[in-house]
Amino acid sequence: MLAVATEKGRLDSLIKQLENVSSGSASSVLAGQRIAVHPIALSDKFAREHEGGSNPITKSHNVGFNALLTVKRSDRTGIVFDVVKLLSEYNINICNLSTESERNPSSGDQEFRLVTGIHCDLIPSQKHLDELVEQIRDKVGGDVELEIENEANQ
């Protein structure tokens, strides 16, 4: 799998060039290979930060990663919404999500816990993962842990 970032206006041209390579009309190691294009939208924040050639994507033969995100804090309305919204801004998919809320016997407060398995087709840099965790901490509060399970081999 090859990930290529391009401006929306250049997508048709890029697809045409890839078709030429695949059909063999250009001399390339890709000649005769099946090429499928699946456009995805990068968040506006991501696009702005990496305009001008900076590449936040780790160069790897593995594509994507799987992780477990855990958020623990006192319960309040909107925690799930806030977490899901931030994940979507980073184009991170939710594979599963569970929540529970229980009363802390010593304090009497309702304690909330969200655990979600997440997947991203691209491998973000450690800097972007750290930023995501920090944004969740800032928006939601409490304890936030991100445990990378593995880089997905696809």
CB atoms within 10 A of CB 152: 14
Query: Tokens 């909330």 map to which residue?
Result: 112
CA distances for 37 relative to 2, 3, 4, 10, 23, angstroms: 10, 10, 10, 13, 15
Q: What's the pLDDT at 118? A: 92
Q: What's the pLDDT at 98? A: 95
Q: Which domains does the chain have, with CATH numbers?
A: 8-49 (no CATH), 65-151 (3.30.70.260)
Element (H or E) spanning 17, and its range?
Answer: helix 11-23
The predicted model scores a pTM of: 0.58
Q: What's the pLDDT at 55? A: 45
The residue ranking higher by pLDDT, 55 or 67, is 67
Return the minimum-mean-pLDDT range out of 13-27, 85-99, 119-133: 13-27
The residue ranking higher by pLDDT, 97 or 27, is 97
Contact 149, 66 (CB under 8 A): yes
The predicted model gives 17-43 an average pLDDT of: 62
